[in-house]
Amino acid sequence: MQTKLLKITHTQQDEAILKEAAGLLAAGHLVAIPTETVYGLAANALDPKAASAIYAAKGRPSDNPLIVHVSDIREIPPLVKQVPETLYRLAERFWPGPMTIIMEKSDLVPYETSGGLDTVAIRMPSHPVARELIRRSGVPLAAPSANLSGSPSPTCAQHCMDDLTGRVEAIVDGGSCEVGVESTVLTLCTTPPTVLRPGAVTLEMLREVLPDIRLDPGIFLHLSDDRKVSSPGMKYKHYSPKARVVLVRGPLEAFRQFIDGQSGDFGILCFSGEESGFSRPCIVYGVKGDAASQAKHLFDALRKVDKEQMKLVYVRIADGEGIGQAVYNRLLRAAGFDEIRL
Ligand code: AMP
Ligand code: MG
């Protein structure tokens, strides 16, 4: 398959691009699209064949459900058994934006989309291109991250091209993603509601609307593949470069000493401004103390690790509040939970 690259230029030409991409989606094809979190691999969420094609293109395990993207709250009632009252309160505060909500699904949502579950994950993105494509295609769009399963999520069109050229009909290039990590996922199917994946909408923010919401312990714990998990995505190794990733927690001086004590071939991931003085190649991922900037650059940095053919990378990590939890969660998974505390 020839993959078309459709570039948004913020000129009159965008009209033709949006029309073409929406036409492909309405016809059941796969199109990688920009969102504010990461690029999504979109297809008609109500078409079992289109949803199955997403799993095939990504090499994604068929029990890992897809997030369904809508552009208007009025699109939700047909997709769910009933709309919980809390949905409206959450939507008012955090939508459009990087929050995904799990509810009981209606029969309209095929099991191909829900990964065989009786629940469905729904999000209303804020990215104008994503919103316009949902609206124009006339259907909700299932859109997991537009990467090959297991590899770091894509935060620009080049990442999608690297992974999916020849596997999808088109890639819409809308520039770099603002947030850089995937949406916060929470379920309203538990009492109290539970956060299953941390993201830019943080636990503290959610507590303003749902004071009793809790974090699923699986977010920061290693769960073996056969254990029952609340969110299938939790059990897979994720976001990882081919290199072995090891997290190293501690003050900068201790980190430098640790690195000096290591022999052999390896690389370093650290914060910008810290990279000089190391005897090994260094890639930066954002600013220390600025978790939002770390989130934005994390996946690009993890992809560079493979581009530079590092076999082992030590990642400097520091405590992070808010979205820092999302950064830590992604890094833990990239590292297969391998963390050294100095
Ligand atoms: P991705 O679209 O690649 O960002 O992954 C979607 C994430 O949402 C995965 O971790 C899924 O396991 C999770 N998810 C989607 N739908 C459900 C659901 N119905 N129940 C639990 N987790 C879900
Ligand atoms: Mg993903």
- Which is the closest atom of ligand 1 to the Cα of 196? 22
Report pTM.
Answer: 0.95
| pLDDT at residue 226 is higher than 60 | no
pLDDT at residue number 228: 61
CATH 3.40.50.11030 domain residues, the chain: 244-341
* Residue found by looking up tokens 């991931």 in the block: 269
The residues pairing with 269 across neighbouring beta strands, listed in sequence order, are 283, 315
Residue ranges lining ligand 1, Cβ < 6 Å? 64-65, 67, 102, 114, 117, 119-121, 144-145, 182, 185, 196-197, 231-233
CATH 3.90.870.10 domain residues, the chain: 4-179
Q: Which helix (H) or strand (E) holds 53?
A: helix 48-58
Q: Considering the domain delimited by 244-341, tell me its CATH architecture.
A: 3-Layer(aba) Sandwich (3.40)
Residue to mutate (ligand 1; options 39, 102, 155; most atoms within 8 A of CB): 102
The residues pairing with 249 across neighbouring beta strands, listed in sequence order, are 317, 341
For domain 4-179, say whether CATH 3.90.870.10 is its number: yes
CA angle 114, 120, 126 (to 5 degrees): 115
The predicted-structure confidence for 16-35, as pLDDT tens digits, reads as follows: 999 999 999 999 999 999 99
The predicted-structure confidence for 236-253, as pLDDT tens digits, reads as follows: 666 788 999 999 999 999
